[in-house]
Chains A and B, each alone.
Chain A
Amino acid sequence: MQGSPISYSDKKYQVLGTRPIRHDGTDKVTGRAIYTNDVHFPDMVHGKILRSPVAHARIKSIDTSAAEALDGVVAVVTVKDWPDLKDKMADLGEGAVNLAELGANCMAHDKVLYKGHAVAAVAARNVHIAEEALALIRVEYEELPSVLWVQDAMHENAPILHPNLRTDHMGKPGDHPTNIAKHLHFETGDVDAAFKSADVVVEREFKTATVHQGYIEPHNSVALWNEDGKLKIWTATQGSFTCRHQVAELLQIPISNVTVTPCEIGGGFGGKIAVYLEPVAALLSRKSGRPVKMVMQRDEVFEATGPTPGSYMKVKLGATREGKLLAGDATLAYDAGAYPDGVIGPGCMCVFSCVELPNARVHGYDVCLNKPKTQAYRAPGATQAAFAFESVMNELAESLGICPLEFRLKNAAKEGTRRVDGPVYPRVGLIECLEAAKNSPHWNTPLEGPNQGRGIAAGFWFNIGLKSSVTATVNHDGTVNLLEGSTDIGGTRTSIAMQLAETLGISAEAVHPKVVDTDSVGYTDVTGGSRTTFATGLAAYEVGLDLRKQLCQRAAILWECDPSEVTFKEGTFVHQDKSLTFQQLAAQLPETGEPVVGRASISKDVSTNGFGVHLCDVEVDPETGKVRVLRYTAIQDAGKAIHPSYVEGQLQGGAVQGIGWALNEEYYYRDNATMANASFLDYRIPTCYDLPMIDTIIVEVPNPDHPYGVRGVGETPIVAPPAAVAAAIYEATGVRMFELPMSPPKLWKAISEKNA
Chain B
Amino acid sequence: MPGNSPAKVAVSTTINGQSHDFLCQPRQSLLEVLRDTLQLTGAKEGCNNGNCGACTVLMDGEPVNSCLVLAVEVEGKQLTTVEGLANKGVLHPLQQCFLEGAALQCGICTPGFLVAAKALLDKKPNPTEEEIRFSLAGNLCRCTGYDKIVRAVQAAAEQLQAEEAPLPSSAAHQQAQQQQ
Contact = CB atoms under 8 A, between A and B. Distances in A.
Most buried by A among B95, B99, B144: B144
A216 B105 contact: no
A70 B2 CA distance: 7
B40 to A, nearest CB: 8
Contacts of B141: 216, 688
A680 B102 CA distance: 25
Given A29-B95, A33-B107, A652-B147, A688 B137 contact: yes
7 contacts: A136-B2, A267-B143, A645-B102, A652-B148, A656-B146, A680-B49, A693-B150
Scoring A26, A31, A37, A70 by chain B CB atoms within 10 A of each residue's CB, the highest score goes to: A31
Contact of B47 (A37, A298, A654, A657): A298
A266 B95 contact: no
Contact of A216 (B42, B52, B101): B52
Given A70-B2, A72-B3, A267-B142, A35 B148 contact: no
Nearest to B1: A132
Contact of A490 (B50, B98, B114, B143): B143
Interface in A649-672: 649, 652-657
Given A30-B95, A37-B41, A649 B144 contact: yes
Contacts of A214: 142
Q: Is the interface of A mostly helix, strand, loop or mixed?
A: loop
A728 B104 CA distance: 30
A216 B137 contact: no
Contact of B82 (A31, A129, A648): A31
Interface range for A: 35 or more
A26 B143 CA distance: 18
Interface in B121-180: 132-134, 136-151
B108 to A, nearest CB: 3
Contacts of B106: 215-217, 264-268, 489-490
B41 to A, nearest CB: 4
Nearest to A654: B145
B19 interface: no
Nearest to B115: A31
A160 B31 CA distance: 44
B18 interface: no
Contacts of A33: 107
Contacts of B50: 681
B47 A680 contact: yes
Nearest to A490: B105
Contact of A687 (B27, B32, B110, B137): B137
A25 B137 contact: no
B23 interface: no
Which 9 A-B pairs have CB atoms at the shortest separation, nearest pair first? A31-B42, A266-B108, A656-B145, A652-B145, A28-B107, A490-B105, A680-B51, A645-B102, A688-B146
A655 B145 contact: yes
Nearest to A136: B2
Contacts of B36: 40
Contacts of A19: 102
Given A128-B5, A266-B46, A653-B144, A31 B133 contact: no
Contact of B2 (A132, A266, A653): A132
A532 B101 CA distance: 22
Contact of B45 (A29, A31, A136, A218): A218
Contacts of B137: 687-689
B24 to A, nearest CB: 11
Contacts of A648: 102, 147-148
A29 B91 contact: yes
